[in-house]
Amino acid sequence: MFEEEIQHKGVKRKLSEVFNETKENVKYLPGVTLPEHVTAETDLKKAVMYADVLIWVLPHQFVARTVQNMGKIKETCVSVSLIKGGLELEGGKLGLCSDLLRKLLNHEVGVLMGANVANEVAAGEFCEATLGIKDKKYQALLCKLFDCRTFRVTATDDIPGVELCGALKNVVALGAGFCDGLEYGGNTKAALIRIGLQEMKTFIRYFYPEVKDSTFLESCGVADLITTCFGGRNRKCAEAFVKAKGAKSWAQIEKELLGGQKLQGTLTALEIWPVMQKHNLCEKLPLLTTVYQIAFEDRAPWSIVKLPSGMPSSAFHKEPKGSTGISFFFGREPKG
């Protein structure tokens, strides 16, 4: 646990001390008591020294620095990344956060993604997740580690598909939040989610043609996309962004609404934008393009529901023969 001071019952105390006494993370997961054997360790080297499995759940921008400060770990160690984001272009190929971890740690790295909003998982509500890892030996081990009655895990060897679904759905969720901020209804959001899933598939398949169709129907795909577009932090902050009408920056909204947590959708949008431009994908991905432009280029939020030129005809219906390329609009026209 990264050490920080908090106010607890009117007294300034270290968060780790409060957690180890109460088994409650009063800042980041209030109201949830974790099992007695879970301990907060502030010394990173001590925490990882004897670990058989490292589970990575931190903003991707801190990965390299964390590895540098870890010290020696067991040679037989395996890592599982829950990090949704951290994409870069290396030699024309899209690099994943799991690739970076594998390179830095020199051991097997898998990914675990799914419709897993933290508060609901902590409350013991039923959910699913998708484990992506190549080595069959580790598939069996890690499924036993994570799978339980209320948290069901399905394994696949499709690491890029699992990881990229986890990253890209946060960008689509920004679009869902824009719709909520404009007070559009369920029909509009459903259309956006469907188009978003299609564009996620187009983006992923461009760099990883071998990605399996079945991955998009796993928890890491359509399920995670749905839950994030209805209940995640990216949707929540995007709604606030629209309602602020340009008066608040993303940094301000993050500070006000997330209590120290990080907003991943905006970071991922910034990461994929130059990749989309470099590979001429913007016209093929009009929704992801529009989300970026609303978030960072002052494009009008209501344009999220205006089909830009370049939207594939398959996104809605086949255009009639002889069509001159009609521009469709759905949702409400802005007043004035």
Q: From CA 242, how far away is CA 248, in angstroms rounded? A: 9
Residues 101-110: pLDDT tens digits? 999 999 999 9
pLDDT of 335 above 90: no
Residue 92: which pLDDT band, with cuts at 50, 70 and 90?
Answer: confident
Active site residues: 169
123, with CB counted inside 10 A (0-12, 13-18, 19+), is exposed
DSSP strands (E only) in 136-292:
151-156
Residues 141-178: pLDDT tens digits? 999 999 999 999 999 999 999 999 999 999 999 999 99
Residue ranges of the binding site? 62, 84, 118, 233-234, 262, 264
CATH among 3.90.480.20, 1.10.1040.10, 3.40.366.10, 3.30.420.40 for 169-305: 1.10.1040.10
Please tell me the predicted confidence (pLDDT) of residue 164. 96
Mean pLDDT of all residues belonging to the chain? 89
Q: Where are the domains of the chain?
A: 5-160, 169-305
CATH among 3.40.50.450, 3.40.50.720, 3.40.50.300, 3.30.70.260 for 5-160: 3.40.50.720
Residue ranges of the binding site for substrate? 84, 233-234
Which residue is it, tokens 């002889």? 322
| Per-residue three-class SS string for 53-114 | EEEECCCHHHHHHHHHCCCCCCCCCEEEECCCCCCEEECCEEECHHHHHHHHHCCCEEEEEC
